[in-house]
A = this chain, B = another copy of it.
Amino acid sequence: MVRARQKNGKDRHQEILEAAARVITDRGLAETRIQDIAERCGVSPGLILYYFESKDRLLVEALTYANDKYYLAQARDLRRLDSARDQLSRLIDLSVPGLLPDFERLEEWALWIEIWVRALRDPSLAKEAEVLDRRWRQSIADIVRHGRRTGEFDGGEDADEIGRKLGALIDGLAIQVLMNDTQVSPEHMQRMCLEVAASLIGFELEPATSAST
């Protein structure tokens, strides 16, 4: 029980960040009040400001914290797979909002859009967002490089360039899916991402290990 206090303190910090992320995804960044976050934690509003110097700071930290959490979970998930083809397919599946029941990602995408809109007027947040975003595009490029080392992929252009293109495509399509666009279902998005990936990297789609219809 020596660290009971400190541990509590640390837990509180994290607990507030997670509560903040939840509230932001539920109500939206603009509609998030300190009291909402406090209620989600079961504490008083005053405590929130005891741990974070201001509401603004808390919100920004919550956005990047949540994104970090999701990214690490994804990286862990992908590392279980050996085949680059499987990794790529899995990465796409994980990126499509609402496709996999266990990894809907709706929260994460909602947070990303909140980050974008805020980063438009907050250059420091834009810098942080770029770091997170580059890491995410990097993971695509790494899969491509891995596939080329193992011989699964050959030809195609610069891996980083593929990461940028495929990453942007996924961003753009995810927005449509999140908006419940009637012309872009999660399955449709998944198929389009795979097709473009195959075209960019230069592999055939038919003998894919997953992804049908």
Given A117-B117, A133-B176, A168-B192, 16 additional A-B pairs, CB 8 A: A27-B121, A28-B117, A28-B121, A29-B117, A119-B179, A126-B180, A130-B179, A130-B180, A133-B179, A164-B183, A165-B196, A168-B168, A168-B172, A168-B176, A170-B172, A171-B171
Given B113, B123, B130, B168, which contacts A117 in the complex, CB threshold below 8 Å? Answer: B113
Given B28, B133, B184, B196, which contacts A120 in the complex, CB threshold below 8 Å? Answer: B28
Q: Which B residue sits closest to A196, measured CB to CB?
A: B165
Identical chains bound together, number: 2
Question: What are 26 residue pairs bridging A and B, where the CB atoms are less than 8 Å apart in the complex?
Answer: A28-B118, A28-B120, A28-B121, A29-B30, A30-B30, A31-B121, A113-B120, A114-B117, A116-B117, A116-B175, A116-B179, A120-B178, A126-B179, A126-B180, A129-B179, A130-B182, A164-B184, A164-B192, A165-B192, A168-B168, A168-B171, A168-B173, A169-B169, A171-B175, A172-B172, A199-B200
Give the complex CA separation of A89 and B176 in angstroms: 24
Give chain B nearest CB distance to A205 CB in angstroms.
12
- Residue tally, chain A, CB below 8 Å to B: 43
| A 155-189 binary contact with B (CB < 8 Å = 1; else 0) | 00000010011011111110110111111100000
**A interface secondary structure, majority:** helix
Give the complex CA separation of A165 and B176 in angstroms: 11
The reply on A211 being an interface residue by CB < 8 A is no
The reply on A69 being an interface residue by CB < 8 A is no
Given A30-B30, A117-B117, A161-B192, does the pair A167, B172 have CB atoms closer than 8 Å? Answer: yes
**5 shortest interchain CB distances as A-B pairs:** A168-B172, A171-B172, A172-B172, A30-B30, A168-B173
